[in-house]
Structure 1
Amino acid sequence: MSEEVDKKLSPVENKVLAALEDVIDPELGIDMVNLGLIYKINVDDKGNCVITMTLTTMGCPIGNLLADSISEAVTSVEGVNTCDIDLVWEPAWSIDRMSRFAKVALGIHE
């Protein structure tokens, strides 16, 4: 997520962001946040959370596994009752969205 988005998160949305750092892409071994796959987090007053995100590729074979892990992590946060995932393809994911940590871990040098 961009720094711009991070600054706009509520306290519960920040907790959701932290929980998503525990969801690891099994193919890459890096969490969803550091991979830059999480575009937006929105939790309403009733505890309904919508995660806007993408995948590294459209045909990602582990998409359903990741969705289950994301929902489980998000609903474990106090104050969150439901989790819906809005899977988007725009803007397209690229390695530029990855954090420095993820790039170093994967051996990608800038």
Structure 2
Amino acid sequence: MLYDKIEEVLRTVYDPEIPVNIMDLGLVYELQADDNGKVKIIMTLTAPGCPVAGDIVAEVQQKTEAIEGVTDVYVHLTFSPPWNREMMTEEAKLELGFL
């Protein structure tokens, strides 16, 4: 299924300052994929002033576009609601020592 492939690829994208992928960090707020291969990703960053913001968004765009069956990718960056540690998976919190 296309959604699963996209989620798998997004688990290979990391915030360079935190050794956890963007899915487990809770940075992906919304992921949609329709039957025509159109993908919409709404995501955030750990901080609005993140110096690698463009790099992370570009990596999400490029890796998603490379998936077979994907015809169009729209990545929207938002800071509402602001990211916080509670959005991370339990695994991410354990890995970073927050539990």
Considering the TM-score relative to the shorter chain, is it more than 0.5?
Answer: yes
What is the RMSD of the two structures over their aligned residues, measured on CA atoms?
Answer: 1.2
User: Gaps spanning 5+ residues in structure 2: where?
Assistant: none
The 5-angstrom pairing of residues 69-80 of structure 1 reads 69-80=59-70
| Runs (4+) off by over 3 Å | none
Q: Which amino acid aligns with 1:39?
A: Y
1:98 and 1:70 map into 2 onto residues whose CA distance is 18
Identity of aligned residues (%): 32
Whether 2:14 is the aligned partner of 1:57: answer: no
Whether 2:19 is the aligned partner of 1:40: answer: no
Q: Match of 1:20?
A: 10
Whether 2:95 is the aligned partner of 1:105: answer: yes
Task: Please state whether the residue corresponding to 1:42 is helix, strand or coil.
Answer: strand
1:45 and 1:65 map into 2 onto residues whose CA distance is 28
Aligned residues: 99
Shift of 1:45: 3.3
